Structure 1
Amino acid sequence: MPASMTPTGNLTDAPDNRDDDLVFVAEADQLSAADGMLVRAPLAPVATWRILVVDDDADVHSSTLFALKNVEMQGRALQFLHAYSAHEARALLEREADIAVVLLDVVMERPDAGLQLVRQIREELGMSRVRIILRTGQPGYAPELEAIRGYDINDYRTKSELTRTKLYTAVAAAIRSYQQLRVIDANCAGLEHILAAGTQLMAQHGVRDVAHGVLRQMATLLGQEPAGVLCVRDSGHARPDLLRVVAAAGEHGELEGGELNPQRHQALVAAAQRTLRERRGHDAAGWLSLHFPGKAGRDFAACIPFGRKLDDTERRLLDVFASMVTVGLENVELVTHLNQAAFHDQLTGLPNRTRVVELLDAVLDSAQRGLTTLALIDLDHFAETNDALGHHFGDLLLAAVGKRLRTRMKPDSAAGADASNTLEVARIGGDIFCVLGEAGVVQPAPIQALFREPFHIDGQDVQVSATLGLVRLSEHDGSGADALKDADIALKRAKSHQRAGHFYFSRSMGVEIRERVRMMHALRSGFQRGELFLAYQPQVDLATNGAFGAEALLRWRTEDGRLIGPDRFIPIAEYSGLIVDIGEWVLRQALAELVRLHAAGYRTFTMSVNVSQVQFRHPHFVDMLRRALDDTGAAAEYVELEITESMAMEDPALLVEKLAQVKRTGVSIAIDDFGTGFSSLSHLQRLQVDRLKIDRTFVTEITGSARGSSIAEMVIQLGRNLGLSVIAEGVEDERQAHILRSLGCPLAQGYLFSRPLTPEALVEWLGNQARIEAA
């Protein structure tokens, strides 16, 4: 294993090549043997790690193979299996064994095919060891928060972020985890086999318990009371003759835990040293000894007082017993080591996520539940520090943070003298730590105060801040794993509001998330079933009250006939990414209606379509616009796209270029809700927009507020000075229309003229308007 990828290092911050995508050619020359990241497979055949790639895009399969070809991990090459659908993957998993990692796409034959396959792998196939890395090119179909909370996956990445380096890191971490699970399973199976043999000795846990069992069993075999010692010599110790007593019984019980003194216990020390030196048992000078060879020079010797000669039967029994004990001691030491690895973070020595979940489950089942708080602590901007100063520096910083949390988290006088006994500090993973303990101690202020003092790392002072997500267990109803997820939700909320802040999880937050997920699934299903439709609100010339165009408005009527407001479902569509598909459908529907209106004789009629920020920023938006115009045959000069003012002010350079591309299609641009943001006039001049839309808020206030009238007048004057058209939305009465006319506003829309109409009603309305004008 390359040094930079050992379990003691932090794995969360591989070099960030943000311009790379899943085609890894650009990185081919960036990773050399000197980097310690890629190791070419040896010529001799070796066992392989089996990786299953599940994706309906053949390019993803080939890109993955290219990125990881000739790579060796943990001394083994990689073998790839391929499935192009969830159904095909299920069949392959049923017949193939020892698959270590599944690289799984979310959206395949169905939008949730990947997520359903995760449930089948875990619940139906019972495959708990295989590591699942979820990959998606459409994160909206499986938002990160819901995917992590609802499915048993081991990693979640968008395809755009999986550069060659990051893909290697994710797969290496998954294989390490898979390998550890296999080792634990294999050794537990070996230990269970020994227990099944019926030996009481092997039922003990820990070297000390086994050592006591050895003394008892030796005494039983020889028909005498337990006595004597079992000691160990560590060959790597500075004092090679040191004999440490692991267990003692009978008259020698007081020696347990100490060192054998050659002056006080001359005969005992002589027997033990001879046994360890010659690596075999002896029966002489009133002592019977057995030798138990250990690994790395850790040899054990059991010495009991014995005043007679052994017979052949006893000797043979003791030989078998010694062989069994040797195996038992090795297994116990191995299990102890594995338990340490399974439940503790190797970098900091702190409990890990698995151990925290156990602790949480125990607290939730105890009377301490109502007095305990869980806090997740995320180091702010750790990735930048790691990238700038190196992973070794980052590891030292993580270790220092863990040590400070462990040593300085103390109860105050009001918290109770026993609070420190229940306080647990852990490292959950990456740069996230955890504190679990009495609510009076686990508070945001004292925790964040620990970060005010710089950390002295490798000769440098480093200032670090932290953001906290907290859960009061008295308000939590689920399991320990659920509490950890809730704390993570609170942490994400805190990070989205303000770094170095904190947020407590609340039931309403959980309800809000569940409602959002429910509506997201309902919206996706409703969209597929055709529950979404468009209504068209006419736009009129205030001078003549004649219609010149309409705005396409998205509506949702569920199967039971309920209308759900766009203010509720459009943010969900944007959050989930579904707005990209819905937005394209809206545009095509509106353009098709525009073509029908032109064919019906309304040849100069215009169609205005709202564009979401998520949709507008999609890399293929302009291509989609061109295809929609070509496929529907709509005349681009009669199409207007509306973007919000806040969207117009975000990343101005990118917006200017994107708007220029849109303008080259012949489509015009309007800025919606103008006046609600903080537009820079100089920036506005750079944008190639055609129309400003006065927000309905200022139209509503125009009759009763000098401020509303002033802002409306300002927008109208601004449009006139910049040569831009101006339209007012939300005009509901004639008085508003009169004021707008007097201010020089040329165009308007609102209930005064018409409510949003179905396509058929719009044609009928236009016909009535034409008859009125003719009369």
Structure 2
Amino acid sequence: MDDDGPFTFADDNVEASSKESKSWSILVVDDEGDVHDATRIALRGLLIEGRKLRLFHAFSAEEAYQILADEADIAVVLLDVVMETEDAGLQLVRRIRNDLGNSSVRIVLRTGQPGYAPEIDTIRTYDINDYKTKSELTRIRLFTTLAVALRSYHQIHQLEMSRRGLELIIAASTGLGKLRALRLYAEGVVTQLCSLLGLAPEGLVCAASRIDGEPARVIAAAGRYRDLIQCPLDDLPDDDARAILHACLDKRQHVLGGGICLYFGVSDMSGIAAFVDTREEIDPVNRNLIDVFCANATVGFENVLLQERLYDYAYTDQLLNVPNRKGLIDIVDRQTGDGEMVLALIDLDDFAEMNTVLDHHFGDQVLSVVARRLASIFGPPAVLARVGGDTFGLLGSAELVTPNRIEAVFAAPFDLNGEMLRVSATSSLIKVDHQVSANVLKDASIALKQAKILKRGRATLFSEDLSARARERIHMLTDLRAAFSAERLFLAYQPQVDLPSGKVLGAEALLRWKTEDGRSIPPDQFIPLAEQSGLTVPIGEWVLRTACHQLKRLTEGGHANFRMAINVSHTQFREPSFVPALGWALQDCRVDPSQLELELTESVAIGHIESTSAKIQEIRNMGITVAMDDFGTGYSSLSVLKQLNVDRLKVDRSFVMEIGEDGDATGIAELVIALGRQLRLVTIAEGVESEEQRRQLLKMGCHEGQGYLFGRPMPAKEFEAWMAAQG
């Protein structure tokens, strides 16, 4: 090849920069060694577009094919046509384009025998970029041919990189969109960033800082930094990487130099920064791709954070920052440990009354101090949750979560800002069966309801017996609803008599239930069910009207001044419409109000003394008398009894039963009767079954009695016949 004189590099936009580390890869393919030597000499020391030339040499089409398969960045192939065969070079062109799928590399055919491959036909048939005879390629023309080919390659390569980069971004957005955890998403971002830039996943760090001023933390990492996930950013041992990440977060912008550090402006956070440890400069195409990638990734970060907030609201109790009911169910479902696990439900006793008497702020304080003590004693490894307003869930090993340890939590008072408060709790514990974990919370809830009734203030293990009783209660409640609808409930009437004379003064209307198959359900079983299920008010209204109709029939049957006593539950009494409903019943049934007496238990006054007293006075103003039932068995005090201003005081059957036993244990009954006499109240004893009890009650000054000694509860027709026989 001829020199053709000195080069004018400025005309060809050739820069003589020795600082440029990148080079153009050129493959020389020819079966003649002299051609390789001449090409090497002609291109020695040349720079094109500021880059040196790196030559690869192949002496056959097959050898060239292997080099092209191994070296992905070959920019130009200087290819001889005739080598091991007359068309070896042309067949190599086909294999480069078709087999390797390489459309970017520029191919310049060089031939010393043009007749074997006519120029026009060859250019028309094969995907080549130039066709020269070896005699044409003087040094300057070789340079010119390479410069044109390299510029073309660079443009095509940049377009191809842009296309591939956009494909990666789309694929990354699709794949990353499926990741919901912030750490997983951030790790996916830095990994996809390396894929976009063609870098190995080594030296990647993603750090985040929050608006609340907490120190920035590593939320994702790859390669040598993986062990630092969730650690403070200041723990990063690489000073340069740490400084760049801090600068990126502080400036809230990309830092490109000494590595690549990208900034993602995520709302609700100071920001997220992703660092890639590379010294390669970012060209304009990659810079544009990075901008597009960051825009897509930022939207993804926003979505992941939104998902985390939604998950937090759905699965976390906002007051105590512990799992809620759904969160606990999710944790139970994911239990895979081999050890025996126990789930405990812990319900604070009388918490509703505490909220009513005091306020919800005080109640929240109580929940907080209880949660802190439970967490300090049991967890971790146990999991504490809030599964209801005043109910906690505790999941842990059978050795850790035990009835004794739970009861010990509530043995000492709780400190509420200097005020010591004792809190009682009822708990149920159930073993977690990994195969039926979805039912564990339901079974524990059933056990807790039983415990509230049977073992209030204690911690008890769930048993099949408790489950069977709970199922029985559910069936009974279903049957009760059906019985009320089908009118299988009825009233029985038990006489109330004057103790000195034995004269019948009236009767107490008692609710009874006989099932379709003839079984009688005791009131102490179904009445609490009615109170818990919301049936108390409609059943109470039915009892009131039915008893008033019976009173009307007895009065019309000749039993003047007969008194009908009707029990009223605290739920029914507290209904705002109770007094109006009482007036309508009297009016519809046309009975004298003075013949009606309402029996109230002392529970109606708890926490509502003023409103209860006012409502009782309103009832008495209607002419109806009021009796206090079960006095002394609950919480009432003498002052409460005086404020309620009732007419009659009933001595509970449990106190009457003590009369006549060894030791003459008559003290409580005598005290209640004396209290009634002191307050000028009529006293009536219930549960009188023997003459001795009647005699002792008369001696104490009791006025009236009710019990089997005088008559059993009787259905309406039987009672009417009994009354007729009294004369």
Q: Shorter-chain-normalised TM-score: which range?
A: 0.5 to 0.7
Query: Structure 1: how far apart are the matches of 2:555 and 2:462?
Result: 54
Q: How does 1:176-325 map to 2 (within 5 A)?
A: 200=175, 213=188, 217=192, 226-227=201-202, 229=204, 247-249=221-223, 291=262, 293-295=264-266, 296-304=270-278, 324-325=296-297
Would the alpha carbon gap of residues 294 and 511 (structure 1) be closer, same or farther in structure 2, given more than 3 Å must change? same
Cα drift, residue 625 of structure 1: 2.9
Cα drift, residue 565 of structure 1: 1.9
Query: Structure 2: how far apart are the matches of 1:396 and 1:742?
Result: 54
**Matched residue, 1:438:** 397
Alignment match of 2:483 (pick from 526, 537, 550): 526
Residue 707 in structure 1 maps to residue 664 in structure 2: yes
What's the Cα RMSD here?
A: 6.1
The count of aligned residue pairs is 552
**Matched residue, 1:78:** none
Would the alpha carbon gap of residues 591 and 486 (structure 1) be closer, same or farther in structure 2, given more than 3 Å must change? same
Query: Structure 1: how far apart are the matches of 2:605 and 2:210?
Result: 72
Residue 367 in structure 1 maps to residue 367 in structure 2: no
Cα drift, residue 598 of structure 1: 2.6
Deviations 1:146-189 (A, max 9, x none): xxxxxxxxxxxxxxxxxxxxxxxxxxxxxxxxxxxxxxxxxxxx
**Matched residue, 1:557:** 514
Query: Structure 2: how far apart are the matches of 1:769 and 1:272?
Result: 100
- Paired amino acid for 1:571: P
Query: Structure 1: how far apart are the matches of 2:189 and 2:302?
Result: 14
- TM value normalised by structure 2: 0.56
Would the alpha carbon gap of residues 749 and 301 (structure 1) be closer, same or farther in structure 2, given more than 3 Å must change? closer
Cα drift, residue 214 of structure 1: 5.6
- TM value normalised by structure 1: 0.53
Deviations 1:104-129 (A, max 9, x none): xxxxxxxxxxxxxxxxxxxxxxxxxx
Query: Structure 2: how far apart are the matches of 1:245 and 1:606?
Result: 79
Deviations 1:630-685 (A, max 9, x none): 22111233333344577799977666554443333233444556787898788878
Would the alpha carbon gap of residues 226 and 448 (structure 1) be closer, same or farther in structure 2, given more than 3 Å must change? same
Cα drift, residue 398 of structure 1: 8.3
1:474 partner SS: strand
Decide whether the 8 Å contact of 1:260 with 1:269 is kept in 2. Answer: no
1:610 partner SS: strand
Would the alpha carbon gap of residues 248 and 385 (structure 1) be closer, same or farther in structure 2, given more than 3 Å must change? same
Cα drift, residue 542 of structure 1: 6.5
Alignment match of 2:584 (pick from 592, 611, 627): 627
Decide whether the 8 Å contact of 2:245 with 2:261 is kept in 1. Answer: no
Deviations 1:268-293 (A, max 9, x none): 999998999896797x9xx9958564
Cα drift, residue 533 of structure 1: 1.4
Decide whether the 8 Å contact of 2:190 with 2:274 is kept in 1. Answer: no
Residue 602 in structure 1 maps to residue 573 in structure 2: no
- Paired amino acid for 2:510: L
Cα drift, residue 247 of structure 1: 3.5
Decide whether the 8 Å contact of 2:185 with 2:301 is kept in 1. Answer: yes
Paired-residue identity, %: 36
Residue 765 in structure 1 maps to residue 722 in structure 2: yes
Alignment match of 1:503 (pick from 453, 456, 459): 459
- Paired amino acid for 2:524: D
Cα drift, residue 306 of structure 1: 5.3
Query: Structure 1: how far apart are the matches of 2:638 and 2:248?
Result: 93
Deviations 1:526-556 (A, max 9, x none): 2232112122334456677664533322221
- Paired amino acid for 1:300: A
**Matched residue, 1:416:** none
Would the alpha carbon gap of residues 518 and 289 (structure 1) be closer, same or farther in structure 2, given more than 3 Å must change? same
Decide whether the 8 Å contact of 1:245 with 1:258 is kept in 2. Answer: no
Would the alpha carbon gap of residues 623 and 196 (structure 1) be closer, same or farther in structure 2, given more than 3 Å must change? farther
Residue 423 in structure 1 maps to residue 382 in structure 2: yes
Would the alpha carbon gap of residues 195 and 447 (structure 1) be closer, same or farther in structure 2, given more than 3 Å must change? farther
Deviations 1:724-767 (A, max 9, x none): 65655555567766777888877555445544333333333344
Alignment match of 2:549 (pick from 570, 581, 592): 592
Cα drift, residue 524 of structure 1: 3.3
Decide whether the 8 Å contact of 1:386 with 1:394 is kept in 2. Answer: no
Cα drift, residue 226 of structure 1: 4.8
- Paired amino acid for 2:554: L
Alignment match of 1:664 (pick from 601, 614, 621): 621
Query: Structure 2: how far apart are the matches of 1:630 and 1:550?
Result: 21
- Paired amino acid for 2:552: V
Decide whether the 8 Å contact of 1:293 with 1:326 is kept in 2. Answer: yes
**Matched residue, 2:441:** 483
- Paired amino acid for 1:423: A
**Matched residue, 1:51:** none
1:707 partner SS: coil
Query: Structure 1: how far apart are the matches of 2:659 and 2:245?
Result: 103
Would the alpha carbon gap of residues 447 and 359 (structure 1) be closer, same or farther in structure 2, given more than 3 Å must change? farther
Decide whether the 8 Å contact of 2:489 with 2:512 is kept in 1. Answer: yes
Decide whether the 8 Å contact of 1:375 with 1:442 is kept in 2. Answer: no
**Matched residue, 2:79:** none
Would the alpha carbon gap of residues 602 and 469 (structure 1) be closer, same or farther in structure 2, given more than 3 Å must change? closer
Bigger drift between 439-448 and 396-405 goes to: 396-405
Would the alpha carbon gap of residues 445 and 700 (structure 1) be closer, same or farther in structure 2, given more than 3 Å must change? closer
Cα drift, residue 563 of structure 1: 1.6
Query: Structure 2: how far apart are the matches of 1:557 and 1:538?
Result: 21
Higher relative CO (Cα under 8 Å, sequence separation at least 6) belongs to 1
Decide whether the 8 Å contact of 1:538 with 1:753 is kept in 2. Answer: yes
Cα drift, residue 323 of structure 1: 5.4
Would the alpha carbon gap of residues 288 and 299 (structure 1) be closer, same or farther in structure 2, given more than 3 Å must change? closer
1:358 partner SS: helix
Bigger drift between 598-607 and 670-679 goes to: 670-679
Decide whether the 8 Å contact of 1:280 with 1:290 is kept in 2. Answer: yes
1:367 partner SS: coil
Query: Structure 2: how far apart are the matches of 1:326 and 1:199?
Result: 14
Would the alpha carbon gap of residues 514 and 300 (structure 1) be closer, same or farther in structure 2, given more than 3 Å must change? same
Query: Structure 2: how far apart are the matches of 1:689 and 1:752?
Result: 27
Would the alpha carbon gap of residues 705 and 613 (structure 1) be closer, same or farther in structure 2, given more than 3 Å must change? farther
Would the alpha carbon gap of residues 199 and 583 (structure 1) be closer, same or farther in structure 2, given more than 3 Å must change? closer
Residue 581 in structure 1 maps to residue 581 in structure 2: no
Decide whether the 8 Å contact of 1:469 with 1:489 is kept in 2. Answer: no
Decide whether the 8 Å contact of 1:195 with 1:203 is kept in 2. Answer: no
Query: Structure 2: how far apart are the matches of 1:321 and 1:753?
Result: 93
Decide whether the 8 Å contact of 1:607 with 1:640 is kept in 2. Answer: yes
Decide whether the 8 Å contact of 2:656 with 2:687 is kept in 1. Answer: yes
Cα drift, residue 356 of structure 1: 3.4
Structure 1: gaps of 5 or more residues: 1-193, 411-419, 771-775
2:714 partner SS: coil
Bigger drift between 650-659 and 258-267 goes to: 258-267
- Paired amino acid for 1:663: R
Would the alpha carbon gap of residues 279 and 634 (structure 1) be closer, same or farther in structure 2, given more than 3 Å must change? closer
Query: Structure 2: how far apart are the matches of 1:703 and 1:272?
Result: 89
Decide whether the 8 Å contact of 1:467 with 1:491 is kept in 2. Answer: no
Query: Structure 2: how far apart are the matches of 1:354 and 1:518?
Result: 27
Bigger drift between 539-548 and 256-265 goes to: 256-265
Cα drift, residue 337 of structure 1: 6.2
